[in-house]
């Protein structure tokens, strides 16, 4: 698939926003009195953050490649 730089920049912005929300979710769960009850949600959120970090890396690489071509 071919994407324009503007589409990739917007996708990155949306992913950054989602990562921020996931970080806040993890903080909230970890700060709860009985945080161990939320271990599965915390693990899921952390795994999603890692996956989104990979996505951001790949998006940034693609943006750089497209900008070098122009």
Residue 41 near residue 29 (C-beta atoms within 8 A): yes
Question: Does residue 67 contact residue 8 with C-beta atoms inside 8 Å?
Answer: no
Instruction: Give the separation between CA 4 and CA 24, rounded to whole angstroms.
Output: 31
6-50 pLDDT, tens digit each: 999 999 999 999 999 999 999 999 999 999 999 999 999 999 999
Statement: residue 54 has pLDDT above 90? yes
pLDDT value at residue 1:
86
> Number of folded domains in the chain?
1
Structural domain including 38 reads 5-69
The 3-class SS string of 33-69 reads CCHHHHHHHHHHHHHHHHHHHHHHHHHHHHHHHHHHH
């Amino acid at each position: 698939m071919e994407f324009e730089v503007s589409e990739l920049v917007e996708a990155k912005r949306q992913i950054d926003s989602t990562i921020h929300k996931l970080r806040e979710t993890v903080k909230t769960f970890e700060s709860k009195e009985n945080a161990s009850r939320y271990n599965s949600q915390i693990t899921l959120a952390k795994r999603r953050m890692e996956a989104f970090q990979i996505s951001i890396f790949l998006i940034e690489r693609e943006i750089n490649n497209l900008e070098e071509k122009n």
